[in-house]
């Protein structure tokens, strides 16, 4: 009888340990840092498909978007942050709110779909943003851009979604070298980062976007392969992003894998472990 009681107690303690661990992990993810896996190439070469990072949720304070979503289509699980914390939605405010800076790489909730996106913040409230001949213009002035050679990658399926890169050097066969024009862009506050281009696109020339109060304008660093604020959210873009939709700032890549799974150790990119996001 004593042995049965001990076994029962051990089982209960194990369950308690698992529950406590899940609660601690949930609090950690909700309050401090949220893991984020880069699924697409819209932020190349700053972020590559397969980069894994923690999003600093303390940088901008907290809103309903700070609650984690749990979306696992394979298992029929679709618990959205709004389902949990939607009661705090609607005022476009934040608790312990911090102001994002131009040039920050930010994870945010899409204004329509609610899915998490990651892009670079280029337009602050009141800014006038326009693209002219592939050059970002802010408040009537082009930002500084310098040529920085060519970005090269192999033409092959990338990541779990098996996405293939778009190339400036035309159709490239499997295993060939895919090239993109590479430049260094300097924003008005001095933030420098690389951008990529593959050639003239519709979004390389736009009208003037005036960023509303309490909203922000985001663009991907891979300029010709990014759905962002240059296209309205209702037209499958992003449009202006409300302040309350910001989740956090991407500061550092913790791990990176070029394969279909992080378990494929032979595809790990060791040179990107603990790399700062610039």
Identify the active-site residue in 40, 44, 69, 119.
119
Choosing from 42, 63, 69, 226, the catalytic residue is 42
3-state secondary structure of 166: coil
The Cβ of residue 272 has, within 10 Å, a number of other Cβ atoms equal to: 18
Task: Compute the radius of gyration of the chain from its Cα atoms.
Answer: 21
Distance CA 55, CA 272 (A): 16
DSSP structure string for 213-257: TTEEEEE-SBTTS--STTS-GGGTS---EEGGGEEEEEEEEEEEB
CA–CA distances in Å: residue 85 to residues 54, 64, 166: 21, 5, 38
Enter the DSSP assignment of 163: B
Contacts (Cβ under 8 Å, ≥6 apart) of 27: none
Tell me whether residue 119 is one of the annotated catalytic residues.
yes
Sign of torsion over alpha carbons 72, 78, 81, 84: negative
The reply to whether 6 belongs to the active site is: no
Sign of CA dihedral 189, 190, 196, 199: positive
d(CA 252, CA 219): 19
C-alpha closest to that of 105 among 274, 245, 246: 246
Catalytically annotated residues: 42, 119
């Amino acid at each position: 009888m004593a042995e049965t009681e001990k076994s029962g107690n051990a089982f209960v303690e194990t369950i308690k340990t698992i529950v406590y661990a899940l609660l601690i992990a949930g609090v950690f993810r909700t309050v401090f840092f949220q893991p984020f896996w880069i699924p697409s190439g819209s932020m190349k070469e700053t972020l590559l498909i397969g980069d894994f990072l923690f999003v600093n949720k303390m940088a901008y304070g907290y809103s309903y978007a700070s609650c984690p979503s749990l979306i696992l289509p394979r298992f029929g699980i679709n618990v959205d942050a709004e389902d949990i914390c939607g009661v705090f939605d609607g005022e476009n405010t934040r608790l312990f709110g911090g102001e994002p800076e131009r040039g920050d790489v930010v994870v945010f909730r899409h204004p329509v779909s609610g899915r998490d996106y990651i892009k670079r913040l280029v337009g602050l409230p009141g800014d006038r943003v326009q693209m002219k001949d592939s050059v970002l213009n802010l408040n009537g002035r082009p930002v500084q851009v310098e040529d920085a050679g060519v970005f090269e990658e192999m033409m092959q399926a990338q990541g779990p979604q098996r996405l293939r890169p778009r190339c400036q050097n035309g159709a490239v066969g499997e295993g060939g070298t895919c090239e993109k024009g590479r430049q260094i862009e300097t924003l008005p506050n001095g933030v420098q980062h690389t951008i990529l281009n593959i050639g003239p696109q519709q979004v390389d020339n736009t009208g003037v976007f005036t960023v509303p109060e309490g909203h922000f304008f985001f663009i991907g660093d891979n300029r010709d392969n990014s759905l962002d604020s240059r296209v309205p959210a209702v037209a499958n873009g992003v449009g202006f992003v409300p302040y309350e939709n910001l989740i956090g700032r991407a500061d550092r890549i913790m791990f990176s894998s070029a394969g279909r799974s992080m378990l494929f150790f032979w595809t790990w990119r060791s040179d990107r472990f603990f790399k700062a996001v610039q």
